[in-house]
Amino acid sequence: MLSLLKKEIQSFLGSLIGYIVIIVFLTIVGLVLWVFPGDLNILNGEYASLGALFNLAPWVFMFLIPAVTMRLFAEENRTGTIEQLLTKPLTDLQIITAKYLAGFVLVLFSVLPTLVYFLSLYYLGSPQGNIDQGGMWGSYLGLLFLAAGFVAIGLFSSSLSDNQVISFIIAVFLSFICFIGFDFIGSLGFLGSIDLLIIKLGINEHYTSMSRGVIDSRDALYFFSLIGLFFMLTKLKLASRNW
């Protein structure tokens, strides 16, 4: 499995897609947070806070993570190498895990440079260091959970087609539904007492809680369950070749 993980990471870093994703993410976030005027501009805020980053990142990830994951299985299906891969001495779960980790590692590479923003706020604060470090690290953990969920969704979407564009569109659609779709349904108010339950099924409810720096085991369990669900769906899709 480690050899497959290494191969997938090298494939990302050996092509333009990996670098494009990292550069696009950092460029969009950097411009919105530091250059463009508006409510999300950190320099216009009254407090040394990275809250704007954690508000913006999910919407950027909703498009960039599908761009990362769209090729994971779709390319294998298109070229026919999926059959060769599945005949290797690896279980379906090991193949899925290796591809999943490769996608997550690339997303992690794009998030790590944003720590420069934390250092900037740390030294720009008055007095120096006047920033809620505990809350910030909790928010980063929430962002990583969010990214992990989106990667799992993108991985499943990639297994559904041999066309990367179609896989991308499916992943964006599912990510949008899982992130904000349940909030919209719950806000309609026509389901009565289960509206709150519907909202809690969505990613946004749990991500918002964690992005405040509040680490709740229920939120972590939700994200692990979400990842597990899409792992299972991906495994079922791979197993369907034998039906």
For the chain, the domains span 2-242
Helix 71-79 and helix 133-159: axis angle, to 10°? 20
| pLDDT at 50 > cutoff 70 | yes
| pLDDT at 241 > cutoff 90 | no
**Which candidate, 180, 185, 240, 234, places its Cα nearest to that of 208?**
180
State whether residue 15 is helix, strand or coil.
coil
pTM > 0.85:
yes
Whether 131 and 125 have beta carbons less than 8 Å apart is answered as yes
Alpha helices in the chain, H assignment, sequence order: 2-13, 16-30, 51-69, 71-79, 81-86, 92-111, 115-124, 133-159, 164-176, 182-187, 195-200, 203-211, 217-239
| pLDDT at 15 > cutoff 70 | yes
* Mean pLDDT on 6-25: 77
Reported as a pLDDT band with limits 50, 70 and 90, residue 189 is low
Reported as a pLDDT band with limits 50, 70 and 90, residue 120 is confident
Exposure class string for 45-79: b at 16+ Cβ within 10 A, else e: eeebbbbbbbeebbebbbbbbbbbbbbbbbbbbee
Reported as a pLDDT band with limits 50, 70 and 90, residue 199 is confident
Q: Which is higher by pLDDT, 103 or 10?
A: 103
Please state the φ and ψ torsions of residue 117, each to the nearest 5 degrees: -65, -40
Residues 149, 236: Cα–Cα separation, whole Å: 18
